[in-house]
A = this chain, B = another copy of it.
Amino acid sequence: MTENQVGELPFLLIGSFRAVIDELHEHLRSLGYDDVRPLHGFALQSISDGGVSITEFSHRLGVTKQAAAKTVASMEQLGLVQRHPDQTDSRATNVTRTERADNVLRESGRFFARKEREWRDAFGADRFENLLAALQELTSPAPETSIPGWLGRATRT
């Protein structure tokens, strides 16, 4: 069973992540948000309360402006964001979350809070805090948020 096992921790990390995200989206589906996909969750979190420009959005997601514009277009179709002309810069577009998107974020937040409570209870507060602290150290300085477009793409752009 351990044939070719090249490293354990990385698989535990991605496996845990996948497990919790899968659970989240199962939950969201049960609430009727059945067209929201993991990518959209990442994207929604990159939109500040006052909205963001497409360029800033692309930076937060770690993709090109063009890719970000397409993501915005698809999320607009899903009723998750709206595009408004920027008042102070007529070149720019201000992208804001819709109420629907806010609901998705709120439900996701509740889900994660519940999940973390579960884990804390299951592990014990000490072990749980230790887990968090250890992971924080692993993500060196800054927790990288530009995940979409990363896996499966060339590391060397």
Contacts and interface: CB of A to CB of B under 8 A. Distances in A.
A13 B17 contact: yes
A139 B19 contact: yes
- Indicate how many identical chains form the complex: 2
By DSSP majority rule, is chain A's interface helix, strand, loop, or mixed? helix
A11 B143 contact: yes
Interface string A5-35: 1111111111111111110011001000010
A85 to B, nearest CB: 23
B18 A116 contact: no
Contacts of A78: none
Nearest to A155: B25
B135 A3 contact: no
